[in-house]
Each structure stands twice: as C-alpha cells, then as structure tokens.
Amino acid sequence: MKVYINGKFYDKKDAKISVFDHGLLYGDGVFEGIRSYNRLVFKLREHIQRLFESAHSIMLKIPLSKEEMMKAVIDTLKINRLDDAYIRVVVTRGEGDLGLDPRKCEGKATVIIIVDKIVLYPQDLYKKGMSIITVPTVRNLPEALNPQIKSLNYLNNILAKIEAINSGYEEAIMLDSLGYIAECTGDNIFIVKNNQIYTPPQCMGTLRGITRDTVLEIARKSNILVHEHVVTRHELYISDECFLTGTAAEIIPVIKVDGRVIGGGKPGKITLKIMKEFRKLTKIEGVRY
Ligand code: PXG
C-alpha cells in the first residue's frame, strides 16, 4: 500500500508524520471518507467541496486547489491499483509546538490520502437489518462544534459508539441537546412512515451526508415524498421502516430500536428499493481512473 503525504508516496510502514502535528495533539484538522466502485470515484467533487468547506470554517488553508486535491486522490488510487476502495483524505493543521496556537503551524498543513478497504458492519446485517440503541452522549451542539464540520475531533461519536458496544450493539443513535434524533456515529438516519421518508434536518446537529443527499435525490426521482423534519424517538419507534446512510456504511436497514421492533421486523420495501437504486448509481456515476 502506498500512502500519499504532502505530494509524495510512502509505503505503509514508512507513512509517518510528526508527533508535533496538531492533528494528533489536538484533533486539529478535517477529513473525508470517499468510496470508489469499479474504478469510479463516487461523488468525488462533493466530498472535496465538503472538505474545503470544513477547512474554511476552521480557518485551515489547504495547500492544494480543489482540482489538485481531486487529482491527488485519483493518483493515489492509480498507484494502489484498487478497483473498489475506501479513500480517506486528511488535512491537519500541521506541525507546531506543544501549545494549541495554530499560528505555530502556519503554512505547514499536512495532507494525507490513504486508500484501503473498509468494513463497517457485518455483511449479514445488510440483509437482516440491524438492531440499534439510543445512547446518553448527545451530539455536539452546533454552536460549540458544528457537526457539519467533518473535523478530526470524533470523540463525541466515539463515546457514543463505545456506549452502543458496551450494551452489545453495533451502532448508536445520537440525540441532539433537545432530545430529537440527530444521527448515528458515522451515518445519517432515515425513517419511512406511510410511504413517505423523513430525516432530521441538517441544522439540528447532523452532518449533511453525501449519501443522505443521494438518497433524497433517489427518493424524489422515485416520486417518494421526502421531509427534512425533526424526528422524535416515538416517531422512530412507530415508523414502518428505518435505515442508515453513509459513505462507509452505504445503506443499511434497521429493524429494531431500543427494543422496539420497526415495522415488520425485516428490511422494508422502500428501504430495499432505495438500496437497489443506490447500488445502480454507484455503477454508473463517478470520476473514472
Ligand atoms: N454522520 C456522521 C457523523 C459521519 O461521520 C455521515 C453522517 C455520513 O456522511 P456521508 O457523507 O459519508 O454520507 C458520516 C460519515 C467510520 C466512518 O469509520 C464514518 C464516516 C466517515 C468516516 C469514517 O465509521 N461517516
């Protein structure tokens, strides 16, 4: 495996950055997770756009243009000869000193691109559906650290994941500070009720997922009504169907939440239709390499 660091490729064992990098010391940086399917990078432009928006928001200057970043991703895929890959793009504030002052890192941002495989959930859960739970750790307040910023600070999500794992579950539903459904630790959440789709609005402590946007697009094209609307736990419990979306997770059905069976206790027909349409899109859309 060859890893891209600041314009050069290194073998995995030599792909190292400084212990003074503020990405490590403070989680000061941003990232993206992207997928390619059969040599097509899905939604590459959208991911790079979000990366630059995250960086802009935390006043981190990425030392490449968007076009150069896209080319760097493609070059990393080509050199690794992977047809289907999970691509991690990381930009940190760079090397500084033992103080959080970002001025010490000025002009030294670290750019890393790793291409590998990712398996988020056991494969059989995509057929059977997952049981998940809501957890005590609430999603970051947008006015503190906005979940729209895909920063290297994922401790909020990791704590929620730990709570799910400690209770014997694979995934956690995080609520916002008002108690509404926000999202999962690395996925957006959708419910279906009376053949209509609902997902929490992005202003309520939810990342604007690129898979989420794709699902909304698929639903609209399929003449399914979609609502970006607050969702309570009660509405989730009495929904007909539930599924999660994310680049790493793709689309995975949920059949039980907090011990309540969702719909018929198996993946619903709208979920299956969206999964099928999504799979089709990944076969035809994307930047080729
Ligand atoms: N919410 C959060 C908090 C995320 O981190 C999503 C939603 C889905 O967004 P996209 O754009 O991918 O549809 C994400 C992204 C992992 C992992 O290892 C998960 C993500 C990113 C990187 C790694 O679980 N999810």
Beta bridge partners of 11: 2
Residue of 152, 187, 208 with the most ligand 1 atoms within 8 Å of its CB, for mutation: 187
Residues of the chain with CATH 3.30.470.10: 2-116
Please name the residue whose Cα sits nearest to atom 8 of ligand 1. Answer: 246
User: Does the C-beta of 207 come closer than 6 Å to ligand 1?
Assistant: yes
Atom of ligand 1 nearest to the CA of 212: 13
> Cα angle vertex 236, ends 232, 240, to 5°?
145
Both tokens of 249, joined, read: 């997770």
- Atom 9 (ligand 1) nearest CA: 209
Q: What is the pLDDT of residue 67?
A: 98
C-alpha span between 23 and 177 (Å, rounded)? 27
> Please, where in the chain does CATH 3.20.10.10 lie?
124-282
Q: Tens place of pLDDT for every residue, the chain, 289 residues?
A: 999 999 999 999 999 999 999 999 999 999 999 999 999 999 999 999 999 999 999 999 999 999 999 999 999 999 999 999 999 999 999 999 999 999 999 999 999 999 999 998 999 999 999 999 999 999 999 999 999 999 999 999 999 999 999 999 999 999 999 999 999 999 999 999 999 999 999 887 899 999 999 999 999 999 999 999 999 999 999 999 999 999 999 999 999 999 999 999 999 999 999 999 999 999 999 999 9
- pTM for the model: 0.97
* Distances, alpha carbon 79 to alpha carbons 11, 34, 54, 257, in Å: 11, 17, 27, 43
**∠139-235-188 over CA atoms, to 5°?**
40
Output the pLDDT for position 205.
83
Instruction: Please check whether the domain covering 124-282 is classified as CATH 3.20.10.10.
Output: yes
Tell me what pLDDT residue 269 has.
Answer: 98
Decide yes or no: CATH 3.30.470.10 for domain 2-116: yes
